[in-house]
Amino acid sequence: MPNALQLTGIRKSFDGFAALTDAHFEARWGEVHALLGENGAGKSSLMNIAAGLYAPEAGQLLVDDNLVHFAGPRDAARHRIGMVHQHFKLVRPFTVAQNILLTAPAPAEFQSHGERLREISRDIRNKASELGFEIDPSKRIDALSIAEQQRVEILKVLLAGARILILDEPTAVLTDQEAARLLQTVRGLARGGSAVVLVTHKMADVKTYADRVTVMRGGRTVATLEPGATSVAELVKLTVGESVATQGFEPAKSPRGPVRLTVRGLRSAASPEGRRVLDGVDLELHAGEIYGLAGVGGNGQGELAGAIMGLPDAGGPLEGEIHLSGHGDLKAMPAPERRNVGIATIPADRYGLALAGSLSVAENYAIGRVHTGRYGPAWHLRRRRIQDDTQEAVRAFDVLGVRSVAQKAALLSGGNAQKLVLAREFGKAPSLVLAHSPSRGLDVRASAEVHARLRAARDGGAAVLLISEDLDEVLQLADRVGVMTRGRIAGEFAQPADRQAIGQAMVDHG
Amino acid sequence: MVDATLAAIAQPAQTDPEAALRARRQPLARRRYALEIRQHMGWRRQALVLAAALLAGLAISAAILVAAGVPANELANEFVMQTFFDGQNLRAVLFQAAPMVLVGLAGSLAFRARFWNLGLEGQMIWGAIGATAVSMWQIGPEPLRLPLMFAAAIGCGLLWVLGPAWLKIRLGVNEIISTLMLNYMAANFLLHLVYGSWKDPKDNFPYSPQFRAFERLPELGAGVSSAIALAAVVALFAWWLVGLSRAGLYLRFVDANPRVAHANGVPVRRTIYGAVLLSGAMAGLAGLAVAAGQEGRLTQAFYQGYGFSGILIAFLARNNPLAATVVALLVAALFVTGRSLQVFYQVPFSMVQLIQAIIVVCVAASDFFIRHRLRRVGAEAVQ
């Protein structure tokens, strides 16, 4: 098979930090080529160069064995390269069709905007059913779940004419079934002649779906292999440089305590069509247990998390109750107060809810405790103490890439940003932990650390609600598993749970 | 890796895609410059870039003034010597600067809460009306009169912005419209007062009766009004508030991302209310600074231009209170210089506004160099 895309000797640094030192990569037409590596290994940077977003400092980029130079994503698109980013690039208040129209090639002859929109909507529907899912082109992006938004992204690059498709951590947000379907779809695209680059750190995906795999570590390409001829242990070793034992389910060390959180009949306001995003959620969460809430994205998980966090836009007024033992109804409790009663939150959207990227690491750390008076009275911020505390927390939680606590939080890689969130939320022993997709986009090692922290919180007596679309994660961590479909808990399973039964409950819309 | 994903190449866009493609396929011999997003720049270098932009703006302005007939060798003299080293002019600058500093601080505080307070003039008018009412109705004994005028100015300025703040926070009403419209209401009410019941009975001119001596901001000596001291105190307060207090941290979070702020327990609404109401109070004080510090009475057009100046100052200072103070002094100096240029060289006053605009554009453009970096890409990258 001829080469579709080749990158050789790529070098790239950001603000003096070398993200890529000597990276090589090639993908052939008709193959699914996985790009494997830890967080910060340089996978995304390398692919951003292929997609025309970054210009390399050194090295060459070839498409179809011709040297090319991209002045931007538009040039990459002209060479039929399309990338689906881990953090989606969609205009949230626009509809699906409008978003796709933005990048779609101009029509051959004049069309009115209305005609064009109708045509693109038709194309969207056709392409979607070709790929095996349904999508409403007139829906606004902010009304879609993360999994649905990803489909829009894929449609967007395909309808823009991409034949070299780069997917950055595409399965991070999907359930097993969804991920399997997505990967089968992209395999189909590859069999149809396209080249697919799968940026991932999931060994299972690589083993099952990739024709070849390139492993990156520390900004360099380590090896390119055939996954069929390589063991998972070997891949893990190449990725992390050492063996990391994969953890199985570990039950709580002590029996669970009394009920800490009771959710009863929680319903959100009905949409004009009469649909409720939360439609009678009943849930009991005990102290000293991890309750794993599995389910396909967009079944109300985000809204449930928002309701517990006390976000103002959790879908209008809620009916029912969220009772925190000893503190009454959470719905009436203002968000600042929730922190006082020991609720720790790890939201799914790291830079949308957890961290202010433009502020410093120290400020992001201090915001969690400043109201307690630890950093001085209201009229005086003890900045020295904030710095010291942050430095200590950064060390204790092994947040890497912090040159100074005054640096912007946005400079941290995904895994380290999440560790900073954990450092802040777990600084004081919490009584209730809400973790929503806490290891989304994290590598093996960072995920393991996040999981260890959640277990430690449970063993320290906290009630942990783990909402995750990653069934592996739920099964590894949870003492009890609930499945959320259509805004309610469709089933509960005791551990050890039957994976098949849970998967079935996720897709049963009964 | 951070996903700052925008980066472009500073190569002129080639309109013909075919030609562009051909050009790219060939090994490029010429140098290329890459334009990248800069993640972080130290404050020293930021200050340097700002100073360079300011200098560039002044240089362009100087060129324009020379073209307009001001002798080049006189420029430095007019701009620097006459303004800052001549006692009388320096007094004029300080006189002009006090309300400018106050509106600049008012603007920057509200903008820090992402509240676009375009109603600085309206709040200023109400501040002056409040102070004048205390004087007209002779509320309180003599020694308490001035403090009461302060309280009235603060209270009235604050109340005038309370409505838009409430509408914005509760109902999502765009504050740009509401604050701007309220300016007209305040201005017309001011006219109603000075042409009506508050008209000076002595000469029937449309302004209020003169304030008594103890109702005016006292002189500090050497002809300098205490208004500038008031401005300095407020500036220090604002500096402490945004930099050293807990509210300042809250404000930074509200500014950076209100959703993150809310999820992390920042009392977002209270923070916005606090910043916006303080902004109104400061604008009210600016009204008092003009009425009781400059004019000695309530006049019909005292507020004109301050709203724009306040926004400008806040923008140039990037909402930093100490920088706002310095910028306000510079803007005041520009005004004073402009006035003398007008007198001595028949330069139209619009020239002063032009200079102001040039400096603003230069500083705004300097932002680009703070956020981006231009770097030569090695030739081997494109062989």
Would residue A262 count as lying in a domain?
yes
pLDDT in tens, A253-264: 778 889 999 999
**What integer pLDDT is reported at residue A273 of this predicted model?**
62
Residues A102 and A218 both lie in one domain = yes
Q: Are residues A199 and A229 in the same domain?
A: yes
Q: What domain count does chain B have?
A: 2
Looking at chain B, which residue has its C-alpha nearest residue A48?
A: B5
Q: Looking at the complex, report in whole angstroms how far the Cα of residue B330 sits from the nearest Cα belonging to chain A.
A: 30
**β-pair partners for A167:** A84, A198
pLDDT at position B3 is 37
Residue A481: its pLDDT value, please?
A: 92
Model confidence at B370, pLDDT cuts 50, 70, 90, reads confident
User: Phi/psi at A28 (nearest 5 deg)?
Assistant: -100, 160
Same domain, A197 and A126: yes
B373 and B283 inside one domain: no
- Amino acid at site A216: M
Distances from the Cα of A223 to the Cαs of A24, A120, A426, B91, in angstroms?
9, 41, 38, 74
Task: Report if residue A321 sits inside a domain.
Answer: yes
A348 domain residue, yes or no? no
Q: What is the dihedral of CA A494, A499, A501, A507, to 10 degrees?
A: 120
A376 touches chain B (CB under 8 A): yes
Q: For the residues of A356-396, what is the DSSP string, one character each?
A: -TTSBHHHHHHTTTGGGTTT--TT---HHHHHHHHHHHHHH
The 10s digit of each residue's pLDDT in B260-310 is 998 888 889 999 999 999 999 999 999 999 999 888 999 998 998 899 889
A498 touches B: beta carbon within 8 Å:
no
Question: Sorting pLDDT into bands at 50, 70 and 90, what band is A384?
Answer: very high
Q: Is A32 helix (H, G, I), strand (E, B) or coil?
A: strand
Same domain, B341 and B380: no
Residues A303 and A438 in one domain: yes
**Residue B345 pLDDT grade (very low, low, confident, very high; cuts 50, 70, 90):** confident
Whether residues B32 and B100 share a domain: the answer is: no
- Residue of A45, A57, A199, A382 to mutate, testing the B interface (most B Cβ within 10 Å of its Cβ): A57
- Cβ A14 vs Cβ B2: under 8 Å: yes
Do both B19 and B81 map to the same domain?
A: no
Domain boundary among A398, A421, A444: A421
For residue B62, what are the domain limits? Answer: 1-69+368-383
Q: What is the mean pLDDT of residues A99-105?
A: 88
The residues facing B157 across adjacent strands are none
Q: Do both A374 and A488 map to the same domain?
A: no
C-alpha B315/C-alpha B110 separation (Å) is 12
pLDDT tens profile B20-37 = 444 444 444 445 676 777
Count other Cβ atoms within 10 Å, centred on residue B55.
11
Is B361 part of a structural domain of the chain?
no
Q: Which uninterrupted H or E stretch holds A490? A: strand A488-494
B17: in domain:
yes
Question: Can you tell me the mean pLDDT for B110-124?
Answer: 95
Q: Are β-strands A66-67 and A58-63 bridged in parallel, bridged antiparallel, or unpaired?
A: antiparallel
Say what the pLDDT of residue A17 is: 67
Please indicate, yes or no, whether residues A76 and A133 belong to a single structural domain of this protein: yes
Please compute the mean of the pLDDT values over residues A185-213 and round it to a whole number: 89
H or E element: which one contains B157?
helix B142-166
Q: Do residue A15 and residue B40 have CB atoms under 8 angstroms apart? A: yes
Q: Are residues A306 and A379 in the same domain?
A: no
Same domain, B48 and B134: no
- Average pLDDT, stretch B38-58? 82
Residues spanned by the domain of A375: 357-421
- Kindly indicate the confidence band of residue A248, based on its pLDDT and cuts at 50, 70 and 90: low
| A71·B247 Cβ contact <8 A | no
pLDDT at B60: 92
Same domain, A48 and A82: yes
Per-residue pLDDT at B361 exceeds 70: yes
Residue B140's pLDDT band, with cuts at 50, 70 and 90, is: confident
Q: Name the percent of chain A lying above pLDDT 70.
A: 93
Strands ordered across the beta sheet of A259-267 = A279-286, A259-267, A319-324, A328-329
State the CATH number of the domain containing residue A118. Answer: 3.40.50.300
Please return the burial class of A255, using the count of CB atoms within 10 Å of its CB with bins 0-12, 13-18 and 19+: exposed
Pair B6, B95 in one domain: no
The 10s digit of each residue's pLDDT in A473-496 is 888 899 999 998 888 898 899 887
Report yes or no on B362 lying in a domain.
no
Sheet with A290-294, strands from edge to edge, namely: A343-346, A432-436, A463-467, A290-294, A480-485, A488-494
Select the highest-mean-pLDDT range: A246-250, A404-408, B156-160: B156-160
Q: For B378, which of A44, A57, A410 is closest by C-beta distance?
A: A57
How large is the average pLDDT for residues A169-174? 75
Arithmetic mean of pLDDT, A206-219 = 90
Q: Omega into A251 within 30° of 0, i.e. cis?
A: no
CB contact under 8 A, B249 and A56: no
Look at chain A and report how many structural domains it folds into.
3
Q: What integer is the mean pLDDT of A106-122?
A: 87
Same domain for B134 and B251, yes or no, is yes
Token pair listed for B284: 């009210």
Q: How far apart are CA A339 and CA A425, in angstroms?
A: 9
Residue B322 and residue B379 in one domain: no
For residues A67 and A166, state if they share a domain: yes
Residue B355 lies in a domain: no
The CATH number of residue B152's host domain is 1.10.3470
A178 and A204 assigned to the same domain: yes
Please check whether residue B354 lies inside any domain of the structure: no
Q: What is the pLDDT of residues A287-296, one digit of tens each?
A: 999 999 987 7
Assigned domain for B55 exists? yes
Residue of A nearest to B42 (CA): A407
pLDDT at B133 (0 to 100): 95
**Of the residues A214, A240, A266, the one at which a domain ends:** A240
Instruction: Report chain A residues whose CB lies below 8 A from the CB of B257.
Output: 351-352, 356-358
DSSP state for residue A14 in the 8-state scheme? E
User: E strands of B48-127, at which residues?
Assistant: none
pLDDT greater at residue B117 or residue B83: B117
Q: Is A367 within 8 Å of B253 when comparing Cβ atoms? A: yes
Q: Does any domain span residue A369?
A: yes
Task: Give me the pLDDT at residue B23, please.
Answer: 45
Asked whether residue A286 is assigned to any structural domain, the reply reads yes
Mean pLDDT is highest, among A197-211, A412-426, B240-254, B350-364, for B240-254
pLDDT at A32: 95
* Average pLDDT of the segment spanning A76-96: 90
CA dihedral sign, ordered B92, B94, B97, B102: negative
**Contact check, Cβ <8 Å, B253/A363:** yes
Do residue A438 and residue A501 come from a single domain? Answer: yes
Residue A372 maps to a domain? yes
Give the three-class secondary structure for A465. strand
Q: Where a domain ends, among A368, A394, A421?
A: A421
Which pLDDT band, with edges at 50, 70 and 90, does A39 fall under?
Answer: low
Residues B49 and B122 in one domain: no
Same domain, A324 and A456: yes
What pLDDT is stored for residue B8 in this prediction? Answer: 37
Q: Is A351 inside a domain boundary? A: no
* Dihedral sign (CA A319, A325, A328, A332): negative
CA distance A471 to chain B (A): 26
Query: What radius of gyration do chain B's Cα atoms show?
Result: 25
B121 and B152, same domain (yes or no) = yes
Q: Residue B327: inside a domain, yes or no? A: yes
Chain B environment of A413 (Cβ under 8 Å): 1-2
**Residue corresponding to tokens 């409008």:** A98
Q: Which pair of tokens denotes residue B228? A: 């500038």
